[in-house]
Structure 1
Amino acid sequence: MAVYFFWGEDDFAIAQAIDQLKQSILDPAWLSFNFQTYDGSKEESIIAALNEVMTPPFGMGGRLVWLNEASLCQSCSESLLQELQRTLPVIADNAHLLITSRKKPDKRLKSTKLIHEQAKVREFSPIPPWQTEALADRVKATARELGVNLDRQATELLGEAVGNDTRRLWNELEKLKIYQGDRPQPLTQSEIQTLVVATNQNSLQLCEAIRKGQGGVALQLVGELLAQNEPALKITATLIGQFRLWTVITVMEEAGERDEGAIAKLADLKNPKRLFFLRKEIARLPSQKLLKALPILLELEAGLKQGAIAAEFLPTKILQLCEQFH
């Protein structure tokens, strides 16, 4: 396929995918002739890129034209849509158009529908930190790509440790690859515990400490996370996601819902079997307490986004949350 559309906020993952695309399409000796980047937010630049991709490549290899931060799937004039309709279906096999955007495409637009019809579309949105199965799957795929051999428990622990930070996952696996060397045996959970600092795992431990009303433990975990330069908004996102998950499950069960599939769907659980363990975590915890925690978490997020000092504001709100679960 000659057209690619990559979108999402995971900049590092997109950069890795672009590098792989360049390596598969371009001849290094002819790179300066056959690789061009255009500003995708300007109509005249988009038209120039469409004209460029219709030009045969020079020398060996193919041509790659990159429309960076394209606005095509947010707004598109009728004249530009006509140019897309005329160009995308007839791009030659040795020429490739790459469109990237951090913003989610508007599926209502004709341009978005056209791009989805003509392009290979890949989403690069960060995985929510509480979706542990998805994090483990990504670790498994990246480790396979880099040639790092991990056992099942090591894979799960690494996913919990780095969370949805793709750049950090890549860096940790590069380090683990050097450590493993030519050893055929997979790396174990104990080795991951020794070699990898578990920032996301500590965020989930913070959720547990708050749920149990353990103010001292919670403050210690907050201090450790901030000392590891973990962004306060990322910590908050994990808290909001986990407490929302607990709240949805508790509210539905108190309402008399017994269909595990329905609960898992509303709670956004890809693996319904995980519901058994989540129920044990929140056993005998009334939804009233969880519901009272949500506004505090939203105040925490809003305050941080408005410029509150994380080292002062975050511990204060964490203690306020712990008080709800005494």
Structure 2
Amino acid sequence: MPMYVYWGEDDFAMEKAVAVLRDRILDPIWISFNYTSFAPDQTDAIVQALNQVMTPIFGAGGRLVWLVNTTLCQSCPENVLAELQRTLPVIPENSHLLLTSRNKPDERLKGTKFLKQFATEFREFSLVPPWKTDLLVQAVNQAAQTVGVKLTPQVGEFLAESVGNDTRLLYNELEKLRLYTQGSSKPLDVQTVSQLVRNTTQNSLQLAGAIRSGDTPKALGILADMLNAAEPGLRIVATLIGQFRTWLWVKMMMESGERNPQAIAQAAEINNPKRIYFIQQEVKSLSVTQLVSCLPLLLELEVSLKQGASEMIILQTKIIELCQLCRTRS
């Protein structure tokens, strides 16, 4: 039977995959009869979805039943497992069941093992870690091919630095570039792209640099500009954590006596060993103790934002603390 399990934090990539699946399965004329989605707060959503996917199709095309943000792969009671075992093996070939969730399936559960056994696709949509620049560049180039935009290697790297791991923003910016270059076969250069693309990640790196220098006024000024530009706090924190993590790895390798740039780059997950010299200069005035002490503050900041703390206040407070920590030479 056709059954799909999608999960991960890259909402935009998952939405695109769902749209492709929906267009492939459903006949647009009969979509209102053959397409049903169930929200997680609906009563007996799983049982209703299983009943719906067994309903005969009306007209042309197939049937698609979608359990949105389901917790089925994190918690599967025995009565629900029994329904799955009874229904999944006999679902008609032209009916399709889709399960999506932000959380990774718990593969220890009987229900997850059973779903995996029957799934046509068991697919993760994960965000690339902000510090894995080689994977970010790869994602930019793949997206550019999909959208139909020609990029030079330098522009690909610039876009990766600018948008980070925000897939939705990446496709929005590439679509903007596609419209700009319509009718031209010449690849874009960095100077042109820098005038068109919103450089949010680079601003986060500038914020990290101001914190590293202990320059509180500059750091708060950059933060204010980013928040005024509607930059999400969690995205800012993700970039800061990645940058401080990289600095810490490089500093620890330096203090251990390692001098080989390739070895340091491998340990710090840096794709280009030539960057090591510049990072070493950046962390020269900081100690391992200071960098280690910064990470719990950043994690506290991330948790506070996820728990609904006032974005402006908590970001300002923690950035002041981080600047003070980096300014105190040990």
Pair in the same fold by TM > 0.5: yes
1:131 paired with 2:129, answer no
State yes or no: 1:277 paired with 2:278. no
Provide the rounded CA distance (Å) in 1 between the counterparts of 2:31 and 2:305.
44
CA offset digits 1:27-52 (Å, max 9, x no partner):
10111111111245668331232232
Percent identical pairs in the alignment equals: 50
Please say if residues 236 and 300 of structure 1, whose CA atoms lie closer than 8 Å, have aligned partners that are also in contact. yes
1:1-326 to 2 correspondence within 5 Å? 2-40=2-40, 44-119=44-119, 120-252=121-253, 254-255=255-256, 267=268, 269=269, 273-274=271-272, 277-278=275-276, 280-283=278-281, 284=284, 285-305=286-306, 309-326=310-327
Shift of 1:228: 0.9
Any stretches of 5+ residues in structure 2 without a counterpart?
Answer: none
Number of equivalences? 323
The one-letter code matched in structure 2 to 1:162 is V
Q: Aligned-pair distance for 1:109?
A: 0.5
Counterpart CA distance in 1 for 2:204 and 2:169 is 16
> Given the two structures, how large is their TM-score scaled by the length of structure 2?
0.85
Question: Which segment drifts farther, 121-130 or 187-196?
Answer: 121-130
Q: Which shifted more, 245-254 or 62-71?
A: 245-254
**Counterparts of 2:227 and 2:192, CA distance in 1:** 24
What TM-score results when the alignment is normalised by the length of structure 1? 0.86
Shift of 1:295: 3.4
**1:22 positional shift:** 0.9
Q: Please state how far the C-alpha of 1:147 moved relative to its aligned partner.
A: 1.6
Query: Does structure 2 conserve the Cα–Cα contact (< 8 Å) formed by 1:36 and 1:66?
Result: yes
Partner deviation per Cα, 1:123-179 (whole Å, 9 max, x = no partner): 223333222222222222222222222222212212221222222222222211111
Change in Cα spacing, 1:41 to 1:274, as seen in structure 2 (3 Å) is farther
Query: Partner amino acid for 1:101?
Result: S
Separation (CA, whole Å) in 1 of partners of 2:20 and 2:180: 25
Asked if structure 2 preserves the Cα contact closer than 8 Å seen for 1:39 and 1:46, the reply is no
Amino acid at match of 1:323: Q
Q: Distance in 1 between matches of 2:163 and 2:132?
A: 13
Q: Which runs of 5+ in 1 are unaligned?
A: none
- The alpha carbon displacement at 1:180 in A equals 1.0
Contact 1:199-1:228 within 8 A present in 2 as well: no
Which AA in structure 2 matches 1:23?
A: D
Distance in structure 2 (CA, Å) of the matches to 1:39 and 1:160: 36
User: Is residue 246–residue 278 contact of structure 1 (8 Å, CA) maintained in 2?
Assistant: no
Q: 1:76 to 1:236 in 2, by over 3 A?
A: same
> Are residues 225 and 59 of structure 1, via their aligned partners in 2, closer, same or farther at CA, if it must alter by over 3 Å?
same
Q: Which amino acid aligns with 2:240?
A: L
1:201-258 Cα distance to aligned partner (Å, 9 max, x none): 1102222232233444433322221121112232122212221232234335534678
What SS is found at the alignment partner of 1:200? helix
Q: 2 CA distance for matches of 1:128 and 1:250? A: 20
**Greater mean deviation of Cα atoms: 147-156 or 257-266:** 257-266
Of residues 170-179 and 210-219 in structure 1, the stretch that sits farther from structure 2 once superposed is 210-219
